Structure 1
Amino acid sequence: MSTTAVKRIPAGMHDLRITTFGFLLVKDFSLIALSAAVDPLRIANMVVGRKVYEFKLLSVDGECVASSDGIRVYTDASIADKEVFDIAFIVGPNPVPKAGNGTITDWLRFQERKGAALGGIDTGSYYLARAGLLNGYRCTIHWEDQDILLERFSKPIVSNRLYEIDRNRYTSSGGIAPLDLMVHLISQAPGSRSLGGRVLELLLAERRGHEHRQRASLRQYQGADHAKLEEALQIMESNVEETLSIAEIASYLGVSSRQLERWFQDRLHKTPAQAYLEIRLLRARQLLYRTSKPLEEVCASTGFVSTTHFATKYKAQFRLSPMTDRKRYQDAI
């Protein structure tokens, strides 16, 4: 595969300068997100035929770091070594820890002072924001953690895109979204316009651009395989605070309420009202888990006018009261 990969590469691509990457792994980081960030660099080197992208895995103390699935990853160095990179990434954990880590903040600020571009993968942008290094910058984070980023920091401009590039700040959401960010960065280097495409070809992946947004998980839970039904679920997800009537949703779609009911029953085996309630309750659970918002605020944010009504519906859905569920989750992390 290496011989096939190298031939037919434009001559200018072999003149690419070396770019160095540092990836700081925080305990409970996402292993798939790290792989999605590192493998495009490895493949690009293979395509070009030499190391144009050099990368090191780092930890706070130079020791192994356990990923969120328990797999321990060896690192190449400690951040105490003070090595400076062209691009310094932090691969954040899931969930975001309650207590900060001043050592990580110091390292990020050190890299910034030395002229490094800075990046955050998965929840890495949380650490950049905490260090004050995203003030006035567009950034993104995994959709589950958007609320905590918005709750704790007012100066970053947070989007729902797969990745964001704003000047010398590179952030991506979790999962395999770092692949999209890295392919974009690879394709931007002078003489490497086609390199990103070759990387995608070898990884059997398709190009997803900056304009793509993180797909809301609630629609994936529903498993809709129907364009209008997908749109209906999207409308519901976008209107959890001030809810719409089923008739209003049907009107937006240009169909009758009865037709909408049939689609939901046929595909999801539930009524539109039941699906809408489930979406709001899942959103409420996300807020309870990921933020410190009081119960009254969670209710208001998900379209419930009464905490009593909310608690009743919540317990029927999840078999636990809202506050018991929050405590159970927090005790487990």
Structure 2
Amino acid sequence: MKTTAPPPTEPQRYGLLLVPQFSLIALGAVVDPLRLANGVLGRRVYEYVTLGLGPEAVASSDGIRVVPDCAMADSGRLDAVFVIGPNPIQRNGLGEITGWLRRQAARGAALGGVDTGSYYLAQAGLLDGYRCTIHWEDRDLLLEAFPQLIVSTCLAEIDRDRYTCSGGVSPIDLMIRLLSRPPGHPAMAAQVADLLLAQQRRPDERQALCRLQRQAQSPGLLIDALEMMENNVEEPLSLAEISHHLGLARRTLERLFQRQTGQSPGQKYLQIRLERARLALLRGNRPVDEVAQSAGFASTSHFIARYRQAYGKTPAADRASRPE
């Protein structure tokens, strides 16, 4: 069944900027809701055009190459621009993208950052004073480079004319919310979600919670404990504090972790902290002692010893081996 909406004077036009090594799944998660919305409405209300720095094919992070519809300089009128970000973030040679994004903002285009696309909006100074988000792996890197930003841990953020989301399939959550606005409407957006077989998640749902849902068959108390650990890395909680908050005896908490994860609570907490530290090392440039402190280690030497035990090399050696 088709639904109707007041026809706009002309289609709303989305420009999708493909940064080399962009996320292919994120591109599809932006485009398909727009395509399906046109089908539900029975007319072309939304247009989308893929853009490259030039006319050449752009390689995605999984090696599939996409020939853009045009170079970004030839994009014409755009109502919204979405930067489909790469993995890993490319931090050099951004001048051309930065200048073009600033010109689009000056022309009144809404701006979106998908996956790591938020980094490029921030680089252009276009997220200052806006609430935004980015994939959880890159949040520390974004804040390290742009400490003035307000960066949430939500799946998606819509703040006036800035739209950001965290990558993977989260652009679907963002687009469903945007499609509920004129020239679309909530009933049409719901039909698009149904066609995508997408569970309608709230954009303000936290990414950390989604990651913990991989333990979905585990008891709720374990999920609660893991979430507390994820949210308290720089200043780790004691097991007594976690147990007290959950209303459990410490021994009960230990049995729960051993039964469900094969690890003690302390071992699991250490793993979470080391994983967070490794992400900071491999994706950023902060000194090792600062990374150690951000992961809750009072002693850098203790951090280095634990890191080498977990990953087989020192933090400095691991960072030196990362691909440029």
Deviation of the 1:15 alpha carbon: 2.6
Deviation of the 1:224 alpha carbon: 6.5
1-side partners of 2:88 and 2:210: how far apart? 17
Deviation of the 1:16 alpha carbon: 4.7
Q: Which amino acid aligns with 1:83?
A: G
> Percent of counterpart pairs with the same letter?
51
Deviation of the 1:299 alpha carbon: 1.1
**Structure 1 counterpart SS, 2:275:** helix
2-side partners of 1:129 and 1:22: how far apart? 18
Corresponding residue number in structure 2 for 1:287:
280
2-side partners of 1:313 and 1:214: how far apart? 27
Deviations 1:130-180 (Å, cap 9, x if unpaired)? 111111111111111111111111333111111111111111111011111
Deviation of the 1:216 alpha carbon: 5.5
Would you say the 8 A contact 1:224–1:230 is kept in 2?
no
**Structure 2 counterpart SS, 1:23:** strand
Deviation of the 1:209 alpha carbon: 1.7
Tell me: CA distance 1:180–1:83, structure 2 relative to 1, closer, same or farther (3 Å): same
2-side partners of 1:253 and 1:52: how far apart? 50
Unmatched tracts of structure 1, length 5 or more = 1-6
Q: Which amino acid aligns with 1:133?
A: L
Give the alignment partner of residue 196 of structure 1, picking from 181, 189, 193: 189
Corresponding residue number in structure 1 for 2:304:
311
Corresponding residue number in structure 2 for 1:76:
69
Alignment pair present for 1:141 and 2:151: no
Give the alignment partner of residue 52 of structure 1, picking from 41, 45, 53: 45
- TM-score when normalising by structure 1: 0.93
1-side partners of 2:265 and 2:217: how far apart? 13
Deviation of the 1:100 alpha carbon: 3.7
Give the alignment partner of residue 234 of structure 1, picking from 227, 231, 237: 227
Give the alignment partner of residue 113 of structure 2, picking from 116, 120, 133: 120
Structure 1 residues 12-21 or 271-280, which shifts more? 12-21
Deviations 1:183-208 (Å, cap 9, x if unpaired)? 11111115622011000100101111
Deviation of the 1:74 alpha carbon: 1.5
2-side partners of 1:22 and 1:276: how far apart? 42
**Structure 1 counterpart SS, 2:5:** helix
Tell me: CA distance 1:162–1:87, structure 2 relative to 1, closer, same or farther (3 Å): same
Would you say the 8 A contact 1:14–1:48 is kept in 2?
no
2-side partners of 1:211 and 1:36: how far apart? 18
Q: What's the RMSD between the two structures over aligned residues?
A: 1.7
2-side partners of 1:209 and 1:66: how far apart? 31
Deviation of the 1:237 alpha carbon: 1.4
Q: Which amino acid aligns with 2:29?
A: A
Q: Which amino acid aligns with 2:5?
A: M
Would you say the 8 A contact 1:224–1:267 is kept in 2?
no
Unmatched tracts of structure 2, length 5 or more = none
Corresponding residue number in structure 1 for 2:313:
320
Give the alignment partner of residue 176 of structure 2, picking from 173, 183, 204: 183
1-side partners of 2:79 and 2:73: how far apart? 17
**Structure 2 counterpart SS, 1:54:** strand
Q: Which amino acid aligns with 2:91?
A: K
Deviation of the 1:221 alpha carbon: 7.2
- TM-score when normalising by structure 2: 0.95
Deviation of the 1:14 alpha carbon: 6.1
2-side partners of 1:218 and 1:111: how far apart? 34
Q: Which amino acid aligns with 1:271?
A: S
Corresponding residue number in structure 2 for 1:3:
none
Alignment pair present for 1:132 and 2:101: no
Give the alignment partner of residue 108 of structure 1, picking from 74, 77, 101: 101
2-side partners of 1:221 and 1:297: how far apart? 30
How many pairs were matched up? 323
Would you say the 8 A contact 1:218–1:279 is kept in 2?
no
Would you say the 8 A contact 1:84–1:111 is kept in 2?
no
2-side partners of 1:297 and 1:183: how far apart? 39
Q: Pairwise mapping of residues 198-277 of structure 1 onto structure 2 (< 5 A)?
A: 198-215=191-208, 219=212, 225-277=218-270
